[in-house]
Structure formats: structure tokens, C-alpha cells
A and B are shown apart, each in its own frame.
Chain A
Amino acid sequence: MLRNFPGAFESGIVTKAILKLLLLSIGFCLPGICCGDANPAISREYQLKTAYLFHFAELAQWPDSTQMTICVKGDNPLRFYLPALEGMEVDNKIVHILLDPVFAIEQCQILFLSELDALSEAMLTQAKIHHVLLVSDVEQFASKGGMIQFTLRDNKLKLIVNLASVRAANLRLSSKLLRMAEILE
């Protein structure tokens, strides 16, 4: 399973052997995580979240947007995956990813918040004014006014949508997205 692990550790045969043994034992303990010859360090969960965000760009409607920028605020593993969307096309718009530590919220169509604290009154107001879709994977996000919250259920990603917040920002979500979401009215 881990045979094709890329040579990230070139620092001597001993270290390599120990790490190999270790990685093998980890693989042994968690056989469910590993799949085929995929790299174990790559998280399927964040790959999926990235692909979901790509679909959100299409399944949500903004009142007046000519661009599609997805931003991340805070420290989140998603930073390593989102660049996969850079340059992709959705509805004749090119997707841009903004990972800078400081950015203006009006630059973003979708904003992923890494922490619940970031969901301040000011943030909600800004999101309303600039029609920004707020997404996160922290607990309580949707009930505290966030728009789309990822959650894990039965080993699958599920969505919790706060429809009032979405509407307040003058955004529309497709019925296709809402079909598989739990909705907080």
C-alpha cells in the first residue's frame, strides 16, 4: 500500500528504514484510511471538501458577479488542496483561489472560515453587503449564522444550510444542493 510513497525523506538509510516501518505500522493500524496506491498523507476528506466548493461555485447564484474567487481565512488544511481549483472554469468564469493572510472580503464570492470565532457580527454584515457565501467545517457554524457547514455523517460529507443567512446575503442555492442538505430555517 505504501510502497509508492515518494522519497520525501532522503536523510540516511536508518531514518528511512524507521520511517518506513512506522508508516507501515500506521497503515496497518488504520487500513480504512489507505486506498490503493494513494498517498496516505493526502486527506480524502479535504479533497472532497475542495470538490464540493467547486460545485458550490456553480450551485449557488450571486446577484451580480463576473468573477469566482474562493478565499480561506485562518489556518486550515484546505489551503493545500484548494489550489487544485485555480484556473478551472465554472459558468464561463475562471476560478481564483485567494490564500493570502490579509484580503478584502469583497474580493471573495466564497469564503471558507477555519474558526467559529471568525464568524463575527461584522463578518456577517460584510457577507450580506458583498454577497459572500460563508462556508466552514466547524460545529455550530450554520446555527450561529454561517451559510453552509460541512459535517461528517456515516463516513460521508453532509451539508447543513442556514437558508435565512443565504437569503439575507441575496444568494440563491440550487435545489440540487438543498436536496442533500439539512436545512435550518
Chain B
Amino acid sequence: MCLYFSRHRVGLVLFLYLLTQALLAEEFPSDTIESTRELLPLSWEELTVLDVSGLARQEQSVQNSPAAAFVITSEDIRRAGVTSLPEVLRMVPGMNVAKINAWNWAVSARGFNDLYANKLQVMIDGRSIYDPLVSGVYWGQQTPALQDIERIEVLRGPSGSLWGANAVNGTINIVTRSAQDTQGGLLSGGGGTEEQGFGGIRYGGKLSDATFLRGTLSGIHRDASIDLVGDQDTHDNGDTETGNFRLDSQLSEHDQLMLEGNVSRYRQHGYFIGVSSPTPPLWRQDDFGRDGITGSLQGSWKHLTDSGHHTDLNMSFTQTNWDLTTNNMSRSQGVLDFQHSLPSYDNHHLMWGLNYQIISDNFDNTLTLGFEPEKYTQHNVGVFLQDQIDLFEDWVLTLGNRVEHFTYTGWETEPNARLLWMPNKQHSLWAAVSRAVVLPNRAQHSIRLFKTIPGSNTFFEATANPDMLTENLLAYELGWRWQIASNLDIDTALFYNIYDRMQGTKFTGNVRTDPIYGNVLEATVGNYRHVESYGLEMSINYRVNHDWRLQASYSGNQFDAKYDANVSWFRDPDAEQHFNPQHRLSLRSLFNLTPEIELDAWGRFVDEIYVDRTSIPAYFTLDLRLGWHPHKDLELSFSGQNLLDNQHPEFSDILYIPVASQIQRGYVAQFSWRF
């Protein structure tokens, strides 16, 4: 790398080097003091994770990335006092997070929120966890131990050229701690009024000088909630158990290997599944619950050459089995992913990659719910190329494109161009234009749902549309990061998104007369709508001193949908405008009363929404947490959640199967002990 000078000049070089050092020592840089002071507002937890050489990776990636990025650290997670992944995401500007019941959440970025919202790519250590059946995440089935998470990187806006289809409105990458960082034991647990009991044990050991292994076992039991009227129990209690291991090995100076395995078992209630039958009663509604098991195995091999080539090979295999009254499913998914970063050439930094995905599923259809064909296999392949070009003094241009071939829709392309300008240390501005696609999912392509229209005795049959095309997004974004002082910064992003060929669900107008069920309305799905959205996201970080940190975020958005007003729509054609709060605010305070005692507060405001004919009023809510470290290896905490009212609804859902409930005030006590 350093063979830049010919050999006979080494002596001269050495001399000049020493001369430089001497000059530097004589006149020590004047901003030594100033730049050192920039570190002083950091909390102890933030300080102790910083790298000695270079900036911390996360800090750097956020500050220099030409995208709306936000990083949640393990410290943020611990001090939020929460027990599930979606709750953690509430602190991110631009993220919509609404709880439907104990196990179901509506989580999305930049609007389009719904149960199983489909425009968000979510990964754990690079393995996608969104479900190919609905292209959304079943959050109740993703219960990694929060203590094992090192950080969560959230990217709002499209990043399809890097992460592929469905990375449309955002990408979330959950990065777990390496086995090397989790040596020894950790016993944790707690319980409360809503989170009735949870606990886990982790142990990490050293297999050899460069190989580490850890395992975690955890479980959760949640109480039932209360319905939207406020008098009926929604029976959404249930439990999940998860086992996880991770192995990290430095195979050689140049090679790193990681293997991770996960098995989750979940038994959850609160699904008012209806069952249609050819004999009376033709329709019976009951809570049959959901029973399932998901297992995954993944590995990654990173190789770095002396000449600066960086290759990354990832593979994962996921098996999911569901046992529902209306349908059983067994599905296997395999992903192979290769990525190669080339050494910088002139002012170009090139990166390219290939990926292959196979999804093979098998359903046991019933009269109520079926997927045609019952057995189906999809093969998807993609290739991407990205060039990051340093222009002039302080401009960076990033051009990228991904071309993919899908079994459902054929060839698709997801190009983007991003420009970053960093005129000085205080300001960085960026702009981006990107195209992204939402792939039709298995449900849209093959579902057959036969049940009564919610709230009536009339049956309908919703059938899939095998001709469904991708939903296409063209996004324009602008961003500005301003470091006002060493302890104060503001991050702002603006977006204008145009979504073409958006899905809509409508009654076809055909009414089939059935000898048993009478008149059956027919409904279908298709690319019937056009939606535009624009919005503003802002986050402010203020470190009053190293014991007190404040973080505020604001998001505002507006939607405009165009559709045929003469059609009888099955689902609200103005869903985007109705389902998404116009304004959202979050204000967090992380305060150390003493080095051992922490007092944290988190207030949120969410504007009113209107979901499936149900009005959800605006709400203010407040969480408080008191943490205490009586011993270096013991942490105790007590949190109160949703303290400002007895209960409030956050979302509703009548079409799908979970029953919507209100979110009740809750208290939870937690402990964690390292040994």
C-alpha cells in the first residue's frame, strides 16, 4: 500500500517525515483544544464505545451519508425502558409506529401505515425479516433480546439500489452485538401490568483466541388488552420463546466469519378469525389464536485484501411454519448475497453485488382462506452497481442502480442519484432522486378470502390479481445537517414522493348468487391508484452536559390520492391521508441524577387518524423510567408507560384478523445482572 516511493528515496522520505513531525510539534494545531472539547458533552456510555482511530462508524455514517439516516444506540434502547422492537422505533423521526394489540403493530416510514405495511425493508444482521406473504413484518414474531442489539440503523426514503425491492419508504438494519462483545453471562428479566413476565439468559464464551460464541434464551408473556369501546377484554394474551446463537471468528488477518441461528416459537391470541362453513352457522367468529415457529440460520464471510478489495458473502435460510384455523403454511426461504467494494480508483469508489432469493411455500387451503396455487416457488435475482465520486473540494456524488428479475413481474430497475455537499464542519447538505419498486406479494397474487363483510351478514369473496404489477415510486429528497455547537445539532429532511400504480381494493360490481350463502359480492385488488406525498422530518440533539441529553423529533406529512370516484372501494381509497397522523412529536430526556441513578422521560404527541371507519383521536403520552445501578454488574429499573391516560387506541383494523385494542397504562420493573 505504501510502495508509493521508489526505494532509493526512502531515506529522503524518512528525513522529510521527521522534519514534518518536528514542525508539527513546534506549532501544535490550534484546534486541538477546541476539537477535544467537542467530545466533552458525550455521556460516559457514548464515550466508551468510540473508536480510537477515526470517528465512530455510526457517527461517521450518519454525518456523511447523503440520506435521511438515524441511529438508535444500545444506550437509547436501554434507557427507553421498553420491551419490544416497534416501541424503540417510536423515537425515529419519520417513522409511524402504532400498536394494534399486544402482538400486532402498524410500523412504516413516511406514511402508508397499516398492519403489515409493505414499503419497509427490515433486517437483522443483514437477513430480511419482512414476510413475503404480505411484504410486511409480523412484529409479534420478531422478538430478539433487546440486550443483544448493538444499534439500529434507520434509513428513511428509498434505498432500493442497495437493498432491493421493498426498500421503498425506509430500511431498518438491526445490528446485534458480536459474540466477542458479549462474553460472560447476563441474566435479565422483569414483569409488570401489561408485560406480565419476560426474562432471558445469555452466555458467551471463547472457543479459541479468535473465535467466540454466545447463546441467548428468552421468553415473553403478555397480558390481554381492552377493546376500542373500552369494556371488553380482547384476549390478546400470549407468549413467545426465542433461542439464538452467534459465532464470530477472525479466521485470519483478512477473513472474518459470522454464523447466527435463531428459533422462535409463538402462541398468540387476539385474532378474531372468522370461519366460513357450508353448514349453519355459515359464519362463526372466534379467537383461534396463532401458533407458529420460525427458524433461521445465517452466515457471513468478509474478506479484505491488502490491495483494498473488500468482499462480503452472505447467506441465510429461514423456515416458517404457521398453524392457523383458517390456513396452515410451511415456507422455506433462501438468500445468497455477494458484495464487492473495489479500492478507490482516482476519485471513484466502486461497489457491486449479486443476489439470489428463493421462496418456496405450501398452504393447506380452507373455504375461508386459500392461496392459489397452494404450492409455489419464486426465484428472484438481482445485480447492483454503485459509484461514489469525489467531486471538487467538498462534493460527493453517488450513482447507483439495481436491476432485478422477479418471478411475478419480470425485470425491474431501481436507480438513484445522490449529491452531498459539505462546505464546512458545521453544515452538510444533500439531495437525492430515486426510483424504487414494491413487489406484489404472494397474497396479492394468489389470495382467496371468503368471509362476511365486517359488521354484516353478507359474504364477499376477495380474489387475487395475478396480473398485479409493481407499485413504483419516484422520490425527491433534500436534507440538511447543521452542527450548531459541539453539543447541539439539527437534522432536517424534506421529501416529495410520487407513487404510481398503487394498490387499491375494490368491489368488481359482480354479485354471484350462491344457493347456500345468498348474494356474494366479489372484490379484487389491482394497481388502481396514484398517490403523492410530501413531508418534513426533523430531529434535534442537545447535550446540556454529559449527564443530561435531550432529543426531540418532529414529522409532518400530507397525502393526495387519485382514483376513480365511481368505483365502490372495498378499502378506503384515501387510506394514506386517513391512516397517517399529520403531525408527530417526540421529546426524550436522558438524565443522570448521580452516576448510579438515571431518570428518563419520553413524551409523544400523535395527531388524529381515521382507520376503517374508526376515528382514533390525537393523543399525548408520557413514559418515565428510573434506573439504578447498585452494583457494577446489576441494573434495576422501574418504568411507567402511557402514563397520561388509562388507555388510548393507536390504530384499528377490521379487515385483517387481529382484533384492535387500546393501549393501557402500564408499569414494568426490570433487572439485569452480569456474571
Contacts and interface: CB of A to CB of B under 8 A. Distances in A.
A59 B547 CA distance: 11
A48 B40 CA distance: 9
Q: Is the interface of A mostly helix, strand, loop or mixed?
A: helix
B48 A157 contact: yes
Given A9-B23, A179-B633, A28 B4 contact: yes
Contacts of B64: 36
B40 A176 contact: no
B33 A32 contact: no
A23 B20 contact: yes
Contacts of A180: 48
A157 B29 contact: no
A94 interface: no
Given A174-B596, A176-B629, A6 B40 contact: no
Contacts of B29: 6, 8, 39, 41-42
A78 B365 CA distance: 71
Contacts of A45: 52-53
A174 B595 contact: yes
Contact of A156 (B35, B39, B51): B51
Interface string B18-37: 00100110011111111111
A36 B55 contact: yes
Contacts of B53: 32-33, 44-45, 155
Nearest to A19: B20
B15 to A, nearest CB: 10
Interface in A109-160: 152, 154-157
A180 B629 CA distance: 13
Interface string B293-336: 00000000000000000000000000000000000000000000
Interface string B601-643: 0000000000000000000000000000111110000000000
A164 interface: no
Contacts of A28: 1-2, 4
A37 B64 CA distance: 11
A184 interface: no
B123 to A, nearest CB: 24
A25 interface: yes
Task: Report which residue of A29, A35, A45, A52 has the largest number of chain B beta carbons within 10 angstroms of its beta carbon.
Answer: A35
B37 A8 contact: no
Contacts of A58: 546-547, 595
A104 interface: no
Task: Report which residue of B35, B595, B630 has the largest number of chain A beta carbons within 10 angstroms of its beta carbon.
Answer: B595
B44 interface: yes
Given A42-B31, A176-B44, A84 B546 contact: no
Interface residues of A, number: 51
B24 A48 contact: no
A103 interface: no
A42 B580 CA distance: 48
B231 interface: no
Contacts of B16: 18-19, 22
Task: Report which residue of A19, A54, A178 has the largest number of chain B beta carbons within 10 angstroms of its beta carbon.
Answer: A54
B35 A48 contact: no
Interface string A12-38: 000000110011011011001111111
A29 B32 contact: no
A22 B33 contact: no
A23 B39 CA distance: 26
A44 B52 contact: yes
A51 B180 CA distance: 25
B16 to A, nearest CB: 5
Contacts of A55: 44, 47, 546
B10 interface: no
Contact of B44 (A38, A41, A59, A83): A59
B632 to A, nearest CB: 4
B13 interface: yes
A3 B23 CA distance: 18
Interface in B533-559: 546-547
B307 to A, nearest CB: 13
Nearest to B41: A51
Interface in B39-62: 39-40, 42, 44, 47-55, 60
Contact of A51 (B42, B629, B674): B42
A26 B1 CA distance: 11
Contacts of A84: 32-34, 36-37, 40
Given A35-B60, A54-B40, 15 more contacts: A6-B31, A23-B20, A36-B55, A39-B29, A39-B35, A42-B31, A44-B53, A47-B39, A84-B36, A152-B52, A154-B180, A155-B53, A156-B52, A157-B50, A177-B44
Interface of A: 3, 6, 8-9, 18-19, 22-23, 25-26, 28-29, 32-39, 41-42, 44-45, 47-48, 50-52, 54-55, 58-59, 80-81, 83-85, 88, 152, 154-157, 174-180
25 contacts: A8-B23, A8-B27, A9-B23, A18-B16, A26-B17, A28-B4, A33-B53, A35-B54, A39-B35, A42-B35, A44-B52, A44-B54, A47-B35, A47-B36, A50-B36, A55-B47, A58-B546, A81-B32, A85-B40, A156-B50, A156-B51, A157-B48, A174-B595, A175-B595, A180-B48
